[in-house]
């Protein structure tokens, strides 16, 4: 299918409306099943131990976790001790279509934003395969996504991400700072409870 894509910065490509409503519903059902086995929880910040306002879980052989000891990838859920569920096939096919790399992702971080939650400006740099982009998909309420340069303090711009949008962060933008300033409540009917889900697919270990 021909898809609209907008290069926001070198290597940072935005695909508005990547998933149609039926695909969003199918993906939401898969993500709901994953959350039923790997419940959303509030990670804690390194050092301070303060909770993130966003709740998280993961799918895939590895999952990103954060606690008082730091950020890392691990194979099991920090609260249940169980392996993370598989990455849904719809996400694997999005990765094949959008990532531009011939190897599979290993982690899918699931972020859930209830009303009033946000995610501070950060880099995704806990992966050891920076040749692979991070592929992001959004479901539910719209959000204001802030995107900057690879150094803190560089100019930023904002993009409104709505349900079904994809965003690929690779190349010169792989280590760009980004975050979610706010969620625009009641702007989508996809999630019965409201709020926003963001899914980010990552390759964690070196591919070769
Ligand atoms: C979010 N996204 O959209 C947060 N990270 O809720 C991210 O932190 C992110 O969208 C790396 C690459 C793409 C992203
Ligand atoms: Fe990120």
* pLDDT per position as a tens digit, 132-160: 999 999 999 999 999 999 999 999 999 99
Q: Does pLDDT of 1 surpass 70? A: no
If you ran DSSP here, which 8-state letter would residue 24 be given? H
Confidence of residue 208 (pLDDT cuts 50, 70, 90): confident
Mutate to test the pocket of ligand 1, among 200, 202, 203 (most ligand atoms within 8 A of CB): 200
The residues lining ligand 1, judged by C-beta closer than 6 Å to any ligand atom, are 111, 119, 124, 134, 136, 145, 167, 169, 178, 180, 198, 200
Q: What is the pLDDT of residues 79-101, one digit of tens each?
A: 999 999 999 999 999 999 999 99
What are the structural domains of the chain? 6-202 (2.60.120.590)
Mean pLDDT of the chain: 97
Cβ 194 vs Cβ 186: under 8 Å: yes
Task: Please report, rounded to a whole number, the percentage of residues in the chain having pLDDT higher than 70.
Answer: 99
Residue among 156, 198, 199, 201 whose CB has most ligand 1 atoms within 8 A, to mutate: 198
For CA atoms 31, 36, 42, 46, the dihedral sign is negative
Count Cα atoms within 13 angstroms, Cβ side, for 173: 19
pLDDT in tens, 59-79: 999 999 999 999 999 999 999
> Please, which residues have CB less than 5 A from ligand 2, an ion?
124
pLDDT bin (cut points 50, 70, 90) of residue 3 is confident
Distance, in Å, from the CA atom of 110 to the CA atom of 112, rounded to the nearest integer, reads: 7
Whether 46 shows a pLDDT value over 80: the answer reads: yes
């Amino acid at each position: 299918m021909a898809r609209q894509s907008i290069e926001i910065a070198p290597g940072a490509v935005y695909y508005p409306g990547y998933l149609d409503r039926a695909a969003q519903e199918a993906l939401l059902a898969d993500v709901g099943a994953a959350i039923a086995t790997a419940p959303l929880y509030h990670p804690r910040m390194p050092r301070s131990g303060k909770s993130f306002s966003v709740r998280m879980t993961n799918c895939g052989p590895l999952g990103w976790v954060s606690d008082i000891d730091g950020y890392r990838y691990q194979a099991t859920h920090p609260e249940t001790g169980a392996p993370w569920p598989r990455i849904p096939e719809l996400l694997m096919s999005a990765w094949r279509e959008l990532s531009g790399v011939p190897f599979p992702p290993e982690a899918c971080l699931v972020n859930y934003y209830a009303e009033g939650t946000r995610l501070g400006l950060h880099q995704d740099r806990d992966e050891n395969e920076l040749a692979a982009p991070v592929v992001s998909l959004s479901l539910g309420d719209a959000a204001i996504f802030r995107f900057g340069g690879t150094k803190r303090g560089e100019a930023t711009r904002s993009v409104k991400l709505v349900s079904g949008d994809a965003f690929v962060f690779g190349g010169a933008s792989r280590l760009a700072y980004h975050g979610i300033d706010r969620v625009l409540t009641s702007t989508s009917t996809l999630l019965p409870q409201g709020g926003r889900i963001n899914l980010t697919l990552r390759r964690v270990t070196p591919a070769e």
